[in-house]
Structure 1
Amino acid sequence: MKSPSSPGGWREWLRGRSELGVSVLLLVVGVLVLGDTLTMETVAGQRGPVGPRTVPLVVGVALLVVAVVLAVDVLRGGRGEAEPGEEAGSEPADWRTVALLAGIFLASAVLIEPLGFPITGALLFWGSAYALGSRNFSRDPLVAAVLSMATFAAFNTLLGVPLPGGPLMGVL
């Protein structure tokens, strides 16, 4: 095993250890999540038995634990293995799908205020299904509308998290 001080230096040592980059990314995201969670303002009267900080704390700690476990595994020589019949780089990346999904998510972020969650959510679900290959134009919009309304109702009614209703606010 080569070390950073060997004749190849850091570049040679890091070659084949790209999972360390994922570990660093997980560590940074975990620290950001925990930092935001610990500085979150909460009102004591609005909290239930669990509170609004519980899930972000669990997620932040889990990200840190996974980052450390992954880093230790990689430094001990562990590597991700391709599944049987799968070769890394054997298929080109489908950048069209990635671009469509990114555009749909960005459009949803822009449209959620003026249109509200029910309409924007339906567009998000329908657009994602289209980007991922579904071409059933009679079923997909219906399923998207049902998913969006169910999500809206679950958040507003069951969880008590108000989502923007948009022009449908008077109807819902």
Structure 2
Amino acid sequence: MTATDTPPAERSRRDWLREHSELGVCVLLSLLGALVLTDALAMDVEITQRGPIGPKTVPVAVGTGLLVVALLLAVDVLRGGRGEAEGGEDIDLSEPADWRTVLLLAGVFLATAVLIEPLGFPVAGALLFWGSAYALGSRHLDRDPLIAAGLSVLTYVIFNNLLGVPLPGGPLMGVL
């Protein structure tokens, strides 16, 4: 059966779906927002809260934001709004995707997820920051690891000691 053999009702349904394909993004954002909200509200927080903002505040705000954006986007799409074709001053759409960078970043994120428990956040975070900088093109091999280590330790201290969000310390548990 060719495109000309397709019944008009099915063709018009397919055309409508093609013209409103952004609704798929709305569904994805809604599902993600519902997942974040469900997980945040089911969170068992044993840490005593020191003020009006606790560990659930940011996930609830993000989940609610995702649902609001999904709703606003759906309304816009159903009213006839369409996203513009991608085009930017620094993007050459005729060039293929840079899969090397994408795979390096995916590898760095996966390595961080695997190494965060045994090595702790300071070490795994330093590898994450340095690996991301390397994958994105920085080749300052003398400076980047030092900046990555400093950022990682600073992030660990802020979250673990100041905000009360426990992160795995690894071998540096007693030092920081």
Q: Tell me the CA shift for residue 17 of structure 1.
A: 2.9
Query: What is the CA–CA distance in structure 1 between the aligned matches of 2:53 and 2:100, rounded to whole Å?
Result: 42
Instruction: Give per-residue Cα distances to partners, 1:54-74, cap 9 Å, x unaligned.
Output: 222211111111001111111
Cα offset for 1:7?
4.8
Q: Does 1:95 align with 2:86?
A: no
Tell me which of 123, 126, 132 is aligned to 1:122.
Answer: 126
State percent identity of aligned pairs.
66
Aligned residues: 167
TM-score (norm 1): 0.87
Mapped partners of 1:119, 1:147: distance in 2: 11
Q: Which residue of 1 aligns with 2:166?
A: 162
Structure 2 Cα separation of the partners of residues 79 and 36 of structure 1? 32
The whole-number CA distance in structure 2 between the counterparts of 1:169 and 1:143 is 21
CA RMSD, Structure 1 to Structure 2 (Å): 2.1
Structure 2: runs of 5 or more not aligned = 1-7
Q: Secondary structure at the match of 1:154?
A: helix
Supply the distance in 2 between the matched residues of 1:87 and 1:157 (Cα, whole angstroms): 41
* 1:22 is the counterpart of 2:25: yes
Deviations 1:99-128, CA, capped at 9 Å, x for gaps: 111111010010011111111111000000
- Secondary structure of the residue aligned to 2:109 is helix
Q: Structure 1: which 5+ runs fail to align?
A: none
- Per-residue CA deviation, residues 18-64 of structure 1 (Å, 9 max, x unaligned), is 32111111000011111112222234x71232222222221111111
Query: Contact conserved, 2:160 with 2:167, CA < 8 A, in 1?
Result: yes
CA-CA distance at 1:85 after TM superposition:
5.2
TM-score (normalizing by structure 2): 0.85
After superposing on structure 2, the runs of 4+ consecutive aligned residues of structure 1 that deviate more than 6 Å are none
CA distance in 2, matches of 1:79, 1:87: 21
1:86 deviates by 7.6
Alignment partner of 1:136 is 2:136: no
Match of 2:68 among 65, 68, 82: 65
* Per-residue deviation, 1:9: 4.0
The equivalent residue for 1:79 is 82
The one-letter amino acid of 1:18's match is S
Contact map agreement 2:120 2:169 (CA 8 A) in 1: yes
